[in-house]
Amino acid sequence: MIKLLNIEDSETDYQLMLYHLKKGGITDIYSERIETEAQLREALAREKWSLVISDYNIPGFSPLNALAIVRETSRHLPFIVVSGLVGEESVADMMKAGVEDFVIKSRYERLSPVVKRALREYEIHEQEMKSRAIAKKALEAKEEMLAIVYHDIKNPLAAIQLDAQLLELLSYKEPNEEMMDDLRIQAKRILRTVDRLKVLVSDLLEHNKPTAETDFEHSFIIRKGFYNPLQVLNEVLDSYKPLIHEKDLSIKKIVFQRKMMASFDKDRIYQVLSNLLSNALKFSPNGGDIIIELEETEKGENIIAVTDSGPGIAEENLDKIFEKYWTGGSGNGLGLYICKSIVEAHEGVIKVESKPGKGARFSFTIPRCEKAIVFADHTKDEQKIKQERKEPNSKNIYIVDDDEDLREVMTWAIEKEGYRVFSYGNPKTALEDLSLTAFPANLIILDYHMDKMTGKDFLNMKKHSSLASIKNCPVIMVSAAPQVVRETVDPQLYSEILLKPLDLTRLISVIRRYL
């Protein structure tokens, strides 16, 4: 049913309008006639109308004033003006103000088509608004899900990383034993893999954020250092040794310059090489060949190429291969798109050459730079930790984290440093024990994202403690999203933020700084 609100001071004209509407085929209609501003406001508050038709000549109540009132409650409700005679300038002013259409009373046969068109356009607009609202909710749900997945993936990654770091440190106790050397090698391999996974997880979250304006190539940071591409390639090959052996593949490296150096983000280029090599391993048959070439050109570019012995790529697909979400029948359509984004972020070029049945050759360039950007690492922290003696002391550290694996690994590592550790999965219990225990806390390590209580709530409750020892106890906040912590938590309530997955040497170094 069409609900029509008519602003008209003449009952005769009102009935004439209804007659022409019904004559034009608009029969399922409910209508009301009003004359004043107060009546208009009351009607708009009481009912959801389909459209408003206003007479042009109502004493003390112009159609533009009526339109302004209607727009207070609905920005797009159709508003049509009817009149006997009116100047062209007045009509133009009304149309500019947002009047849907204007109908001369002497040509009332136009009214029904005008109303039908206005209602049709209004219905389309309403459907678009509903669709946008549904899409917005879906995107918000997707973003929330990704944030949860991001957090839930990073927690086990953190546990794996800490375990591997502990294995590496333990291996130095018996450096001359062959078994300890093997243990150290495996621990370092695990740590490298965890580092790559951390980058991939971060990319996944950034890439899937529902912002149409943001391109993936602008969603990550390039941190350059001065490296040898051959060294990075060897690390990638080392991580794929089991699969290479399983498929009995032959890897041929053609290196024209072993001492070539370039300025690039090691993790990102590792990611590109890993993706290209993974595809080559996937598509090459058992017993096949994979050729890897490294060359430095006269222009100062480093060219890296990976050629497989797979089925090749159809010519019509070569232009699509780097497009986002193009799968070619397998995968998720992101791997090569991400590779292209990373290479272009390094001001390089990536391309593919292939013929069906003759494999595929992927190559990319890294422009050579004379100067490297140097970033700090924690090597000195690690050396210091290995050299210092772990004498027992009376310092008490409270760990509050709802991830049991993380708590177990952190507890083991911190106790090895001589500290007394109290571990809590329930933040409420931790707060209670902080007030009652005979072992007052000297430092609190607090996870920000916990199911039973957020780190923010924990800190607010800690702030209101009656015990000065609790209120003044330093807090190390750990989070997979430190920016969220900085935006939502009073910086006076915590001492430092550490990024998850935690780096063991960094954690121990920070603990020592406060204790």
Confidence of residue 172 (pLDDT cuts 50, 70, 90): low
Q: Average the pLDDT over each of 124-133, 328-337, 501-510 and give the range with the smallest value.
A: 328-337
Q: How many CB atoms lie within 10 A of CB 174?
A: 13
- pLDDT confidence of residue 253: 87
Q: How many CB atoms lie within 10 A of CB 330?
A: 9
Q: Which two tokens stand for residue 335?
A: 């791997």
Tell me the average pLDDT across 343-352. 92
Residue range 210-249, pLDDT digits in tens: 444 444 444 566 888 888 888 899 888 887 887 888 889 9
Residue range 267-309, pLDDT digits in tens: 889 889 988 998 999 899 999 999 999 988 777 788 999 999 9
**Tokens 């797009």 found at:** 76
Element (H, E) at 95: helix 88-97
Q: Which domains does the chain have, with CATH numbers?
A: 2-126 (3.40.50.2300), 232-372 (3.30.565.10), 392-512 (3.40.50.2300)
- pLDDT confidence of residue 145: 66
Residue range 449-505, pLDDT digits in tens: 888 889 999 999 999 888 888 989 999 999 888 888 888 999 999 999 998 878 878
Task: Judge whether residue 425 has pLDDT over 70.
Answer: yes
Q: Average the pLDDT over each of 240-244, 339-343, 346-350 and give the range with the smallest value.
A: 240-244
The top-scoring range by mean pLDDT among 161-170, 180-189, 327-336, 343-352 is 343-352
Instruction: Output 153 or 301, whichever has higher pLDDT.
Output: 301
Q: How far is residue 373 CA from its own chain's centroid? A: 27
DSSP assignments along 284-321, one per residue: SPTT-EEEEEEEE-TTSEEEEEEE--S----GGGTTTT
- pLDDT confidence of residue 173: 61
Q: CA 220, CA 238: separation in Å to the nearest integer?
A: 26
Confidence of residue 389 (pLDDT cuts 50, 70, 90): very low
DSSP assignments along 236-294, one per residue: HHHHTHHHHHHTTPEEEEEES-TT--EEE-HHHHHHHHHHHHHHHHHHSPTT-EEEEEE
Residue 271 in contact with residue 199, Cβ under 8 Å?
A: yes
Task: Judge whether residue 143 has pLDDT over 90.
Answer: no
